[in-house]
Amino acid sequence: EIADVTAAPAFSRSLETCLQQAVDFRDEFRSVLKAISSSQWGLAASKARFLPRIIAGGTGAHHGGQTSSDTYLFAGGVKIELSLFEGTRRYGELEKSRAEVRETMARAEEVADGIAFEVIVAYVGIQEAREGITYSETAVNRGKENLKVLRHMFEQGDATATDVIDAEWALLRAKEHYYKSLYQYRMALAQLDYAVGAPAAESSPVVNRAR
């Protein structure tokens, strides 16, 4: 069944809070952070190739029997490898890793700017719709009072039927504007829900004064 929803959900969050929610809840941020971490690990690996490789090893043996004493043999060593003729290849890999980091950072900045733009547009839409609701509420209340006065004047013979009809029509237009503002407000809240990745409106609705 279609319900006549006349109450506007409460919303009191700041723009900074909404942007922080987007950082906390949008999956795109986690994806780009993982990509940045992966590219930085690749850069660290490329830098490590310029360092010498140190390999340590050892072995041990035991010899003994009934006719001879126990003998223990141990051997160990450390090997250091340093490639001297791969400088060009290693520098190429290093520059490639740095380019991947820069590309990942640029992609992350693009994603962050896009999400921030979505949040700001939805937030501005909420503020504009709330102003429209406040304005239309005032117009509805004035229209009701004006219609009440004109009906009383019509009963006293001081106003015509046309005056009453005009007042009713003005009240109808004011209510129509209120519902349009309410619709835009809920649409902006839904857009903000998507932009931040979490519900934006509080659970308790505000009291409507324009019924």
Using CB atoms within 10 Å of the CB of residue 190, give its burial: 0 to 12 exposed, 13 to 18 middle, 19+ buried.
Answer: middle
Tell me the three state secondary structure of residue 182: helix
Q: What is the pLDDT of residue 211?
A: 42
Number of H helices, E strands in the chain: 4, 2
Residue 204: pLDDT over 50: no
Q: Helix crossing, 161-196 with 15-25: angle to 10°?
A: 40
| Higher-pLDDT residue of 196, 9 | 196
Contact in structure between 185 and 133 (CB atoms under 8 Å):
yes
Range with the lowest mean pLDDT among 68-72, 111-115, 145-149, 179-183? 68-72
Under the banding of pLDDT at 50, 70 and 90, the label for residue 82 is low
Of 182, 169, 170, nearest to 209 (Cα)? Answer: 182
